[in-house]
Amino acid sequence: MNVFAFLESDVRTYSRKFPAVFTTASGCWLRDEQGKHFLDFFSGAGALNYGHNNPHLKQRLIEYIAADGVTHSLDMATTAKREFIERFNALILEPRNLRYKVQFTGPTGTNAVEAALKLARKFTGRQTVVHFMNSFHGMSMGSLAVSGSVSKRATAGISLHSTLPMFFDGDLGPGTDTIEYFSAFLDNSENGVGVPAAVIVETVQAEGGVKVASSQWLRRLEEVTRRHGILLIVDLPRPLRFWHMLLQSQTLVPMLKWWSPMSISMR
């Protein structure tokens, strides 16, 4: 019996595109039941930047579990969490004089997006969140509302609102600066929505077709949002270089998906 066809829900995505049953994974390689090897360019949609079962991570994980380390604690305090926060602060935040707090969200990318959207709306007291065309931020309600795909949005089953789509870098061709368009929209006090609470952006769009935002475009987006007191939410499972630059910003809610999802917000 094909267990997946008969007993698993039809609510799945990637298994339809990868017609194999995988057994083991190591580094950049996946192996299926027939012993066929696959070079894994997908890498958990960018979440496995250190590869499958990275030996260093695996060793520490085995040691932690073997020592009966806490593996489920909701958001309670654990020594592992304390150690992680202290180390993150010592290595990333303090050397750059950054005053941020760390929030541990649920175990998916969309959890981090939901947390950032709620935080931005609560902090600003405003509702509208600007997103970009062809964006994808996850399948929960808030994340769908800031995603571009019409078919994915339709899965919500209700109308999704309090969001506004804008043009991404290059959407209007090489001769048209989409930040200028966005800036003019914000400068007009009769634009229909007023000042948005936040802008959410992927530095590299993937699900709607791979598009890389230029550093210059992202810097200008950051400038425009800062000028208008709009929070900038950066959903970036992938490139880290721009993240360092953005951390200098005062109006930032970056979200990190490459290890366990978490978001960092202003203190």
Ligand X SMILES: Cc1ncc(COP(=O)(O)O)c(C=O)c1O
Binding site for ligand X (CB under 6 A): 45, 108-110, 113, 136-138, 202, 206-207, 235, 237
Q: Which is nearer to ligand X, 197 or 201 (CB)?
A: 201
Whose CA is closest to 198, among 221, 174, 177, 178?
A: 221
Whose CA is closest to 168, among 156, 159, 177?
A: 177
**What's the rounded Cα separation, in Å, for the pair 249 and 263?**
15
Burial environment of residue 255 by CB neighbours within 10 A (0 to 12, 13 to 18, 19 or more): buried
Query: Position 267: which residue type?
Result: R
* Sole residue written with tokens 């996850």: 138
* CB-CB contact of 197 with 126 (8 Å): yes
* CB-CB contact of 236 with 255 (8 Å): yes
Q: Which is nearer to ligand X, 110 or 249 (CB)?
A: 110
Burial environment of residue 235 by CB neighbours within 10 A (0 to 12, 13 to 18, 19 or more): buried
Least gap, CB of 215 to ligand X (angstroms)? 18
Q: Which is nearer to ligand X, 146 or 186 (CB)?
A: 146
Q: Which is nearer to ligand X, 134 or 251 (CB)?
A: 134
Whose CA is closest to 221, among 182, 176, 174?
A: 182
Least gap, CB of 218 to ligand X (angstroms)? 14
**What's the rounded Cα separation, in Å, for the pair 102 and 81?**
11
Q: Which is nearer to ligand X, 84 or 258 (CB)?
A: 258
Least gap, CB of 138 to ligand X (angstroms)? 3
Q: Which is nearer to ligand X, 45 or 85 (CB)?
A: 45
**What's the rounded Cα separation, in Å, for the pair 209 and 134?**
7
Least gap, CB of 151 to ligand X (angstroms)? 15
Q: Which residue is nearest to ligand X (CB)?
A: 109
Least gap, CB of 115 to ligand X (angstroms)? 12
Least gap, CB of 40 to ligand X (angstroms)? 15
Q: Which is nearer to ligand X, 229 or 239 (CB)?
A: 239
Query: Position 118: which residue type?
Result: K
* Sole residue written with tokens 């917000």: 265
* CB-CB contact of 9 with 17 (8 Å): no
